[in-house]
A and B are shown apart, each in its own frame.
Chain A
Amino acid sequence: MSPLQLLWFLLLAVLFIGFFVLEGFDFGVGMATRLLAKNEGERKQLVATIGPHWDGNEVWLITAGGAMFASYPLWYASLFSGFYILFFLVLVGLILRGVSFEFAAHAQSQRGRDIWRWALFVGSVIPPFLLGMIFTAIIQPLTIDGKMDIYASLGEQVNLLTIVGGVAVTLMCFMHGLNFIRLKTTGALRLRAWAYNRILIWVLYAGAVVFALLVYVSTDFFVKRPLSSGIIIGLIVLAIVCEHFAILKDREGLSLITSGSALALVVILIFNGLFPRVLIAKEAVNSLLITQASASNLTLTIMTGVTVVLLPIALAYFIWAYVVFHKRVPELS
């Protein structure tokens, strides 16, 4: 394995982490418009927190997908074609959410606005749930033929681990969104979000235990990489404990950091367990390895050069946008 291949495997993990940590709270706030907000004023308050940011956050997913195509085209091709319907439904969710902000603003009647707020809610639940399913499906053995095509059966896509994975990612995104709301709003909404998370954290503890058990049973993580997998799971639990502490002490910034860390660590767990493969087949000989799936050395070199130049610039103005909008959103009528 060349250094560039390893670098891009790690970079893809970083991009997916960036996506879940950033878009994760967008999804959570979107869910909150239905599950937390009680009237249109509160929904507007929520939309105001993510209004300037959600589109830029979504670009992390586009970048992760594009980077996967560029650096690991064989992984990209097998993954996206093998989980066709799930990716299609993720797209539908993103489409509904994407237009809902603009369309809700233009709607003249409350009923019209409500329809597009529902689109925001549905479009905020579907992507994290299905992406959670996809990511936990690929850590279990799949039916892959000699031509690298995935013929995943229904059971390989919908099983206990993938359902728990989908629920876990959705729950974590919701709590992450609630922490964001606590940090970015004032008034009744902020207090209610705080109350929700004080309860949900217990659900998260239970979910983490179930998830860890299922990873132990359904994947080869504890056979192939027991030490690193064990440490990462320990860190996930630690992050949840720290999040609990931060919630109890009403430390909003720390809450957001810890809930984000938990999401990041799940991605790390997955990438660590996959390594040195990108796809795991039922017949080991058909597993797709990093060394097989990557682009050529020249392409990886060029991509590295381009990224070294462009990513810092993008991060600079991306962060600036968050600084510009650092103020809390007050209650709206």
Chain B
Amino acid sequence: MGATVLDLARFQFAMTTVFHFFFVPFSIGMALVTAIMETMFVRTKKPLYKQMTLFWGKIFLLSFAVGVVTGIIQEFQFGMNWSNYSRFMGDIFGAPLAIEALLAFFMESTFIGLWMFTWDRFKPSLHAAMIWLVWLGTTLSAIWILSANAFMQHPTGFAINQATGRVKLVDFGAVIANPQLWVEFPHVIFGAFTTAGFAVAGMAAWRLLKHDHEDFYLHSLRIGLTVGLIAVVGAIGVGDLQTQFIIKDQPMKFAATEGIYKNTKDPAAWTVVELIDSKNHKVSNAVDVPVLLSLLAYHKTSGAVMGMDQANAELQAKYGKDKNYYVPAKTLFWSFRVMAGGGVVLALIAILGLWFSRAKKNTLMHKRWLLWLLGLALWVPFMLNAAG
């Protein structure tokens, strides 16, 4: 069939990771939303909030169940498909995964069992603490798995064991303090909260279009959008920090994300759209915004950006001329625009939704176009997570 073992293994990793990344950020975010709702019930004692906890908690549990099983697949997959990787990297890579299980998985799975089955037995405040601990477990697990990924992006704290040719750990502190991790983790977590926030708001919007349980869904929508707005702004903000890091650490990835082959002028313009000819390493029909790339990359109105051609030359000089180091530019260029553009659009929709549903003058029910937008926005964070 033409597909080699390598292609098939890469496809499997891509597919399982994409599915994992559909369900898990959603469940991390839903844990937060559910915890917020239950806390509001504990604080205000209003039955509406208990109703919301019991309702949206169902969606949370559905996503949690699927998320957990996608995670088990990932752990086994390293050994099954990537045994040479596991041997080469195991000295560093295995520890974060083991710690993830010992710290985070025990926490989330024990307290979710307690949360599910002690509604009638624990005081409301103790019961709410259970779901907060579930959320804490899910978030801690994200830190540890991302520390492993961060190492893959930006290796640190290691040395090569000359006798065996494998990587060996030299400085665990460096592995945990990896700057890549501390821009990647907040970005992913904000992405998770965004997903759940807009999912709740979107589902509520669909029901509001049918005039179903208006009071309930309006309140749900406002909570969802509040979480979603804060989260998406946070994601964009941290994304900026990530940009600062990547432009120095992985210049090829940055250049590809911006669709730049030849080094830019100084100051550098930001390309909104363009046609990329990845075979001949050329671009055309570019729509540029002057100076914007220098601003985004360096927070200054000057500064050129390295293109893929020079990045490739530098990588070849460092690692050898036997392969070229170009990454899939078209995919990265458009994925980034989808992700970043989508984020901005979500923020705007959230602001509109919150404004028109404000307590003093709630006109949201009359603005069906906005309810439709909010409903569609349900699916957007999933696409953005996949693009990222």
Question: In the complex, A touching B, CB below 8 Å?
Answer: yes
Pick from B79, B92, B112: contact of A77, CB below 8 A: B79
Whether the Cβ atoms of B91 and A299 lie closer than 8 Å is yes
Pick from A51, A54, A77, A296: contact of B84, CB below 8 A: A77
Whether the Cβ atoms of B109 and A59 lie closer than 8 Å is yes
- Can you give 27 contacting A-B residue pairs, CB < 8 Å? A51-B117, A54-B113, A56-B113, A62-B71, A62-B101, A63-B98, A67-B102, A69-B79, A70-B95, A80-B76, A80-B80, A84-B80, A87-B76, A94-B69, A99-B66, A101-B65, A106-B62, A148-B87, A295-B90, A296-B161, A299-B91, A307-B102, A314-B107, A317-B110, A321-B113, A321-B114, A324-B114
Whether the Cβ atoms of B79 and A302 lie closer than 8 Å is no
The DSSP consensus for interface residues of chain A is: helix
Is residue A227 within 8 Å, beta carbon to beta carbon, of the partner chain?
no
Q: Which residues of A contact B (CB under 8 A)?
A: 51-56, 58-59, 62-63, 65-71, 73-74, 76-81, 84, 87-88, 91, 94-95, 98-99, 101-103, 106, 148-149, 295-296, 298-299, 302-303, 306-307, 310-311, 314, 317-318, 321, 324-325
Docked complex Cα distance between A71 and B168 (Å): 12
Is residue B100 within 8 Å, beta carbon to beta carbon, of the partner chain?
yes
Docked complex Cα distance between A65 and B114 (Å): 25
Contacts of A94 in B (CB 8 A): 69, 72
B113 to chain A minimum Cβ distance, whole angstroms, is 3
Whether the Cβ atoms of A296 and B110 lie closer than 8 Å is no
Pick from A58, A70, A149: contact of B109, CB below 8 A: A58
Whether the Cβ atoms of A314 and B90 lie closer than 8 Å is no
Pick from B66, B86, B103: contact of A73, CB below 8 A: B86
Q: Could you give, for residues 58-72 of chain B, a 1 whenever the CB lies within 8 Å of some chain A CB and a 0 otherwise?
A: 100110011011011
A256 to chain B minimum Cβ distance, whole angstroms, is 19
Q: Which residues of B contact A (CB under 8 A)?
A: 58, 61-62, 65-66, 68-69, 71-73, 75-76, 78-81, 83-84, 86-87, 89-95, 97-103, 105-107, 109-114, 116-118, 121, 161, 168-170, 172
Docked complex Cα distance between A55 and B71 (Å): 13
Contacts of A65 in B (CB 8 A): 75-76, 79, 101
Contacts of B86 in A (CB 8 A): 69, 73, 76-77, 80
Contacts of A106 in B (CB 8 A): 58, 62
Instruction: For the A-B complex with A71-B94, A73-B93, A76-B79 known, give 7 more contacts whose Cβ atoms are closer than 8 Å.
Output: A56-B106, A62-B105, A70-B95, A101-B65, A295-B94, A302-B172, A317-B111
Contacts of B81 in A (CB 8 A): 81
Pick from A66, A101, A102, A318: contact of B110, CB below 8 A: A318
Docked complex Cα distance between A155 and B300 (Å): 67
Docked complex Cα distance between A54 and B65 (Å): 12
Whether the Cβ atoms of A310 and B78 lie closer than 8 Å is no
Whether the Cβ atoms of A59 and B106 lie closer than 8 Å is yes
Docked complex Cα distance between A81 and B102 (Å): 24
Contacts of B61 in A (CB 8 A): 102
Pick from A66, A84, A296: contact of B101, CB below 8 A: A66
Docked complex Cα distance between A74 and B90 (Å): 8
Docked complex Cα distance between A67 and B101 (Å): 9
Contacts of B110 in A (CB 8 A): 55-56, 314, 317-318, 321
Docked complex Cα distance between A108 and B146 (Å): 39
Whether the Cβ atoms of B90 and A76 lie closer than 8 Å is yes
Whether the Cβ atoms of B72 and A95 lie closer than 8 Å is yes
Pick from B79, B89, B170: contact of A298, CB below 8 A: B170
Docked complex Cα distance between A79 and B98 (Å): 17
Contacts of B89 in A (CB 8 A): 73
Contacts of A99 in B (CB 8 A): 65-66, 69
Q: With A77-B84, A295-B91 as known contacts, state yes or no: A66 contacts B97, CB within 8 Å.
A: yes
List the A residue with the shortest CB-CB distance to B80.
A80
Docked complex Cα distance between A298 and B94 (Å): 13
Whether the Cβ atoms of A91 and B72 lie closer than 8 Å is yes
Contacts of A66 in B (CB 8 A): 75, 94, 97-102
B80 to chain A minimum Cβ distance, whole angstroms, is 5
Contacts of A59 in B (CB 8 A): 101, 105-106, 109
Docked complex Cα distance between A148 and B102 (Å): 28
Contacts of B68 in A (CB 8 A): 55, 98
B162 to chain A minimum Cβ distance, whole angstroms, is 13
Docked complex Cα distance between A51 and B109 (Å): 11
Q: With A52-B116, A63-B101, A298-B168 as known contacts, state yes or no: A76 contacts B94, CB within 8 Å.
A: yes
Whether the Cβ atoms of A73 and B94 lie closer than 8 Å is yes
Docked complex Cα distance between A299 and B110 (Å): 27
Docked complex Cα distance between A300 and B62 (Å): 37
Contacts of A149 in B (CB 8 A): 83
Docked complex Cα distance between A94 and B116 (Å): 21
Contacts of A76 in B (CB 8 A): 79, 86, 90, 94
Contacts of A77 in B (CB 8 A): 79, 83-84, 86-87, 90
Contacts of A78 in B (CB 8 A): 83
Q: With A52-B113, A55-B113, A76-B94 as known contacts, state yes or no: A62 contacts B72, CB within 8 Å.
A: yes
List the A residue with the shortest CB-CB distance to B106.
A314
Pick from B95, B102, B111: contact of A63, CB below 8 A: B102
